[in-house]
Structure 1
Amino acid sequence: MRRAIVLVISSVLSLAVATPAYAASTVDYVALGDSYSSGVGAPGQSGTCLRSNTSYAAQWAARNDPASFQFLACGGATTDDVRTSQVPAMRAGADLVSITIGGNDAGFAPTILTCLTSSDSACAAKVAEGRAYVANTLPAELDATYDAIRAKAPDARVVVLSYPLIFDTSSILCEMSVAKRRSLNEGARVLDEMIKQRAEAAGFVYSEVRDEFTGHGVCSSRPWLNGLTIIPPQNSYHPNGSGYTSGYLPAFSGAA
């Protein structure tokens, strides 16, 4: 029953994406953030920032024809990168800003690597290390980043998107054990909760993508995220084309 409800909601959201609720031709849109905003994992990545036209940001701009579109999101970006490189590059007068950020600060890549190559207990310990960072250090980093965005675009609607839970935990056969998958998903949930808390404290709009990705994690029958990928390696554990089109794009469109 839950799956049927999710499918119905997804269909409704798809229709909403296809028919914009407003004319965006006067909107100046800026896409900030990390690999989940630049489009890593999808076809057509290019440049040092690995930006793709299949990213939710580029798709939204193509469908809504804003007055201007600055695609500043960059694979591997941290909160510090957003503050020192991306925000200064923003043109004045942005009306709409989107961002995913915080995952690299919390150690996304080294945590995944540890869980791939080590024991269940080592994976859990590495996730716990990241959770401690999220609880103790990340809040101030997010606050400073959100303050910088607001200072540069004081009148913009800023949409902060979450990260999905990467793994399906119901399947037996997978590249990671169930214990590792649960540890990583719980780490992602804790990260998302902190991002939500700080985004709302900043007066920004928080958009949760976990509902859109329900049933589409790595090792599910219809994954919207890449599993371990050898060529190109950066695609590992990032959304695929379906993840950006059917997951992130509706989540952003509904909040923009």
Structure 2
Amino acid sequence: MKRLVPVLVVATILLIPTAAHAAAPADQDYVALGDSYSSGVGAPGQSGTCLRSPNAYPGLWDAANDPATYKSVACSGATTDDLRSSQLSALTAATDLVSVTIGGNDVGFAPTIITCTLVGDSACAAKVDESLEYLRDEMPAKFTATYAEIRAKAPNAKVVVLGYPILFDEAATSCGFAGMSIPKRKSINKGARELNAAIRAYAQAAGFTWSDVTDEFAGHGICGASPWLHGLTVLPPTNSFHPTANGYRYGYLPALNAALA
């Protein structure tokens, strides 16, 4: 079965206690984990195979707060399995702060968007709906294991799990060349909301801090008058459906700051 944007199935998970840590930013050791929404795809200054940018929200937070140490190991295309196999080595018992976005690639974010770009409204909706079985069968264990391993590697850290923006403005009648129809936008947005709800449930069950970015991005969806997200992009194509520089600075960064307040 193809991995597509999921529909929430709430599972009962035992709460893992969160370690209390109140270090000031100047004393903190900060590690950013996750996928392209944490590495900075869509922002200026991307480099390397992971497409990391100093203009992603972790780099912006580092520049504004000057923590004792900062390292981003977030990588474009990363799944929960990738995070567990290649990113956790950056964490130690001395890590004070961890931020992470993860889950979108597990459920096939890119294939879903590509499919919806090429097919009709009902086929797009069907592709989104197919994710229900995948979420039920696979994602509970993946989220639970990922968050448990983060806690084990960084037992003293405050861990902030950030969600994904709702991609599309649903009111605009036109979305440009090869743009999504309103029914497609609604289907994809529905999937994003339910993906966020699932991530929130498992993150909070793990004792982590959840940060929902949907309020920060409200009014700035693709097809709208003031988007903070790239639509379909030719050069570079990887920027497609990722935050712009404004999306990271005025969307994700305030969401992280709010979670740390």
**What is the alpha-carbon distance in structure 2 between the residues aligned to residue 222 and residue 22 of structure 1?**
37
**What is the alpha-carbon distance in structure 1 between the residues aligned to residue 127 and residue 252 of structure 2?**
27
TM-score (norm 2): 0.88
TM-score (norm 1): 0.90
Equivalenced residues, count: 236
Q: Percent identity?
A: 60
Q: Give the letter for the 1:117 counterpart.
A: L
- What CA RMSD, in Å, does the superposition of the two structures yield over aligned residues? 1.3
**What is the alpha-carbon distance in structure 1 between the residues aligned to residue 132 and residue 109 of structure 2?**
11
Which string of whole-angstrom CA distances, capped at 9 and with x for unpartnered residues, describes residues 235-256 of structure 1?
0000000000000000001112
Q: Give the letter for the 2:122 counterpart.
A: S
CA contact (8 A) 2:93 2:153 kept: yes
Which string of whole-angstrom CA distances, capped at 9 and with x for unpartnered residues, describes residues 160-215 of structure 1?
00001000000000101000000000000010000000000000000000000001
- Provide structure 2 residue ranges, at least 5 long, that are not aligned to the other structure: 1-21
| 1:250 counterpart (254, 257, 261) | 254
**Structure 1 partner of 2:64:** 63
**Structure 2 partner of 1:155:** 156
Q: Give the letter for the 1:203 counterpart.
A: G
**Structure 2 partner of 1:6:** none
Q: Give the letter for the 1:125 counterpart.
A: A
Q: Secondary structure at the match of 2:87?
A: helix
Which string of whole-angstrom CA distances, capped at 9 and with x for unpartnered residues, describes residues 120-170 of structure 1?
111111111223322331111011000110000001000000001000000
Q: Secondary structure at the match of 1:115?
A: helix
Does residue 227 of structure 1 match 2:228? no
CA contact (8 A) 1:23 1:64 kept: no
Which string of whole-angstrom CA distances, capped at 9 and with x for unpartnered residues, describes residues 4-52 of structure 1?
xxxxxxxxxxxxxxxxx98411000000000000000111100000001
Does residue 200 of structure 1 match 2:204? yes
CA contact (8 A) 1:70 1:90 kept: no
**Structure 1 partner of 2:52:** 51
Moved over 6 A (4+): none
Pairs within 5 Å for 1:88-167: 88-167=89-168
Which string of whole-angstrom CA distances, capped at 9 and with x for unpartnered residues, describes residues 52-100 of structure 1?
1110000001110000001110000000011000002334410000000
The structure whose RCO (Cα within 8 Å, separation 6+) is larger is 2
Q: Give the letter for the 2:144 counterpart.
A: D
**What is the alpha-carbon distance in structure 2 between the residues aligned to residue 215 and residue 177 of structure 1?**
18
CA contact (8 A) 1:95 1:157 kept: yes
